[in-house]
Every structure is written in structure tokens, then in C-alpha cells.
Structure 1
Amino acid sequence: MNTILKWPGSKVRVMTELSAHFPAGNRLVEPFAGSCAVMMNTDYPEYLVADINPDLINMYRQIKEHTRPFIVVAMALFSQNTTEESYYRVRKEFNENASMPLLERAAHFLYLNRHGYRGVCRYNLKGEFNIPFGHYAKPYYPLYEIEMFAEKAQRATFICAGYQETLGMVKAGDVVYCDPPYHGTFTEYHTGGFSEDDQHSLACYLLGISERNSVILSNSDTLFTRSIYRAFDITKITVARSVGVKAGEGKRATEIIAVRKPEFHQSLIGWDMASGLNSSAFMELPQ
């Protein structure tokens, strides 16, 4: 299932490899929403989808709650603004009109994504969207993808929050998937960026959560990421890279899928404590 947005690093093309690592669960928790490719290509009863980008989360909420009005407003933007000049006019309005209704802002965000350079999402330090015009012959209007998303989104809760707050909401039965800005690549996703300290902090959070919940993460294949996820099972995959390469020059890169699931003996101890039985009998179970 393709996604509403063009998105560098979208997981649509690697879902075959990625989905093999997803266990069953009551809810999938994603602290880095991105294009929602994983939500659209998995089948959990519920989803908690978060991101620090308020425009991204607003668009997902508007599509979920006001599907038909969003389709109409966004389609009008696509049909009435087809030139480079009109792109910059829409971008200027998006950046400067603080009182723009949320539905219109969501439609503007989709328009900028589909008309901007390779679907990159970037803001300057003032919080202004600053991606240049993409020079596409005929940008695709994702009507089918919007309708499919709106249907799937009825199972989802969308929140604008950082990964720390989102991971603090994980509960028993949840599966956690993280697709943060990749180490050593484009990290200025939003005004704050994503540093190596952030990468390390995320790894620490996930290690703690993995004592109770299954955790899956995607990232660049570097010595740094292999070090901070050394307690995880790591699988290397090869993917296409589309941003930062010359036109017509296909390049591929390696990524890791890091997976950690609760230990068998920890599950037993948790069950034993909940039942009120003496847990000492289980302490000698192998690691």
C-alpha cells in the first residue's frame, strides 16, 4: 500500500523484509510517524502514531476526521496551482498565514509535499517550510491513498509529541516500531534536528522498554548504530536511496533492522508476580 506523502526513507519498498520482524500485539506504537507506511502495511487492532511535526500530525487528523472536505480543498489546490510561481505563492501563504484554518493548512502541507523537491520535509530555524519547487511534469494527487488512509486511521490515535513522551505511553501488549532520522544522513527533519545524543537517548529508552514489549527499529548501518544497538538482534538490508544523488544516478545503501523482544524468563516472572506466587523458582532460568 503506497502512502499519501512522498517521503525520503519511506518503508513501502522494504515492508517484506521489515514486516517479518513484527510480532502480534494489541497496538503498534510509532514515535516517528513519517509517511505512515508501516501503519498502512500492517494490521494491528490499534495504532498510536506520533511525531514532533505539528503539520504532519494535523494532516493525518484532518484526513481521519474530515475526509471529504480535505479531499475537496486539496484537489482544488492541486488543480489551481500548477506552476513554479504558484508553488512559491502557496508556500509563502503556508509560512505566513498564522490564522489559516487547520483543514486548509493540512491541504497546503500535502500540496507542498507533492510539488516540492523529492518530497523532502524541512523547516528553517524560524519554523518556515523551505523546500524548493520540484519541477514535476504532473504531480500525483493521491486520492486513493487518502481514502484508504482515512479508513485505516479510524483505528489510530495521532499525537504531536516527542519520542520520550510517546514511549512513556507504551503499555502491556504494545509493539513499538521506531524509524528516527537516520544517523549520518539527513537529520534536520524539524527545527531541532536529531543529534547523536538523541540517537543514544532513544536507544536507551528502547532498551528499557524491551524488557516488557517487543521493539523494532530502523536506522543507518554504521559503527555508531551497531554499537548503541548491540543488545539487539541486527539484520542488514539494502535499500534504494533517492535524496542527495544526481539525476539518473541510482544508488543503494545499507540499513539495519534492530529487534529486541522480552526475555522468556522475564515474561514468566511478570506472570508469577501478577498471580501472587513465589517467583524464586523461576530465577534460575537461563538468560
Structure 2
Amino acid sequence: MAKQAKNLLVRPFVKWAGGKRQLLPEIKEHMPKHFNSYFEPFVGGGAVFLSQQLPNIVINDFNEELTNTYKIVRDSVDELIEFLSIHEKNNSSEYYYEVRSWDRNGQINKKTPVEKAARFIYLNKTGFNGLFRVNRQGQINVPFGRYKNPAIVNEEVLRAVSNYLKHNNVKILTGDYEEALKTVRKNDFVYLDPPYASLNDDKTSFVGYTFNGFGDKQQEHLRDVFKELDSRGAFVMLSNSSVPLIHELYKDFSETSIIVKANRSINSNGSGRNKVDEVLIMNYR
């Protein structure tokens, strides 16, 4: 069956720390040529799955605000664009902090799923560096970004992504990555893009966004999940920082691992943006 031409407008509609857009050429080059269903349990901004536009996929994230937004883009894109237009017209530092305060003053509980999705995109496009960061109370605490012309209403992209999600078998899950992988079978392809292992002890490193405490023990457990998926006969690819911990955990797959370069902000200073080593680990050649 001939493949459909890919719509170039089907691409991430949010910014995402550690996003994979710049690594797409290497990821695409090393994907298996033929597989059944596709699974991405740490979906984030979705650069990989959106670039492929596959017909049968499962995406997952523990971030309920993010997965709600994917569902709203699929099901209610017209209403979403209307709310985003309101945010765009009112955008200012004062307005940003008013909208951000919804999860502090209880207003968020009165909002519809569409309003929550519009808020999520608005804060993502106008907050500092497009970060998603919450405090211990689960409240977004990213400061205003002061961009001149943020793309708050990217209508063409939103409609293109909506059309793709609506007309393909895309299952959107929320929760633990391991639960999302329960239905993986032989010849399925799994791409794992977890919170990265720290490059060093610098807590402002770009890999420092270890949501829910994704530390060394969690990295070790993910390695066990990788091996278990391998035993099922699935194709598995994992991306992570190229650090001793990761190379030691995946030493059994060293022959099918490659080092790639990515531009990342490796400290809180903007001058710290530089190329750093990342690794793609596969269980296949």
C-alpha cells in the first residue's frame, strides 16, 4: 500500500524542554524499516510521532494537562482556537500572571477541558523558554517570557495536527509509561524519550527537569523495561544523555548505540547553549 504524503504542517504545537526536532534526522535514519504499531510513552511535545504521521500509534505522558491538550486539539480545535485568540488579544505580563494564577485561586476547577487546553498552550507560548515547571503544590511557576510576537494562535498547525489525530488510530493515554506499554507485541516499535540522566550536579542543566523524581533508580528500572520489551520481540529505541550511568545500564546494547550531538542549554545562563553528546540506544541493527 502506497504511503500518503506527509503534511509538513503536522508538527509540535507547543515548545518542549529536551524536544527532539533537531535530532529527527538521526532518529528517522535509525528507525526500523518495517514495524506494526508505534508506541511513544514519554511523548512530550511529540516531535517524533508527528513527523512520522503513522496510522496506528499509542502516545502517553504523565502530564495530564499535556494529554488533555492533545485530545482537545483532536476533538475541539475550533473552540480551542477561539479561546487562544482571546488570550492573544489580552496578552501582557499582567494578563499572563492572572491566567497562571488559576491553579492557585481555584479557578482552574471551574474551567472546561477546552479552556484548560487553551491556558496550557498560552502559558507555554508566553512563559519563559516554553518551560513546563510546577512547584510542590502542582502549580505552574514559570515566569512571563516577554516575547515580542509569540505564536499563540498557530491555526494552520493546530488544524493540521487535529486532522491527523482525528483520522488515524491514535490512542492518547495519561499516566505511568510502563502501563502504556502493556499492549506492545512482537514487531511493534517503541521509542523511549525519558527525562534525561543528569550531565553533572548542576541542577540548572537542561536535563535537570526530572519530573516526579526521575533519578538513577528510575533510569535503572527503565533499563529493565527496555530489556523486557526486547524479550517480547519489539523494536526499541531510547534517547538519553551520554553519561557513564546510561552507558553502564545499557552496556548489553553498546554495539547498537550511537552518539549524537544536540544544541542544549546546559546551564541557566543563555551563553551556556552548546552542543552536548546524547545517545540513541537500540536493540536492533
Match of 2:143 in 1: 132
- Is the 1:25–1:44 Cα contact (8 Å) retained in structure 2? no
Q: Secondary structure at the match of 2:172?
A: strand
- Is the 1:183–1:199 Cα contact (8 Å) retained in structure 2? yes
Q: What is the alpha-carbon distance in structure 1 between the residues aligned to residue 250 and residue 266 of structure 2?
A: 26
Q: Please tell me the root mean square deviation across aligned C-alpha atoms, in Å.
A: 1.7
Match of 2:261 in 1: 238
User: Is 1:261–2:274 an aligned residue pair?
Assistant: no
1:31-180 alignment, distance < 5 Å = 31-80=41-90, 82-95=91-104, 96-97=106-107, 98-141=109-152, 142-154=154-166, 155=168, 156-180=170-194
Please tell me the residue identity of whatever aligns with 2:37.
R
Match of 1:7 in 2: 16
Match of 1:202 in 2: 222
1:264-275 alignment, distance < 5 Å = none
- Is the 1:176–1:215 Cα contact (8 Å) retained in structure 2? yes
Identical aligned residues as a percent: 27
- Report the CA distance between 1:193 and its aligned residue: 2.4
- Is the 1:8–1:243 Cα contact (8 Å) retained in structure 2? no
Please tell me the residue identity of whatever aligns with 1:7.
W
Please tell me the residue identity of whatever aligns with 1:169.
T
Q: What is the alpha-carbon distance in structure 2 between the residues aligned to residue 199 and residue 189 of structure 1?
A: 11
User: Which ranges in structure 1 are unaligned for 5 or more consecutive residues?
Assistant: 263-287
The Cα offsets for residues 112-140 of structure 1, whole Å up to 9 and x where unpaired, read as: 00011111111111111111111111111
- Report the CA distance between 1:169 and its aligned residue: 2.4
Q: What is the alpha-carbon distance in structure 2 between the residues aligned to residue 202 and residue 213 of structure 1?
A: 15
Count of equivalent residues: 260
Larger Rg: 1
- Report the CA distance between 1:27 and its aligned residue: 1.5
- Is the 2:266–2:272 Cα contact (8 Å) retained in structure 1? no
Q: What is the alpha-carbon distance in structure 1 between the residues aligned to residue 266 and residue 84 of structure 2?
A: 26
Using structure 2 for the length normalisation, give the TM-score.
Answer: 0.86
Match of 1:277 in 2: none
Using structure 1 for the length normalisation, give the TM-score.
Answer: 0.86
Match of 2:4 in 1: none
The Cα offsets for residues 83-106 of structure 1, whole Å up to 9 and x where unpaired, read as: 111111010024432221111000
1:220 aligns with one of 224, 228, 241: 241
- Report the CA distance between 1:188 and its aligned residue: 4.0
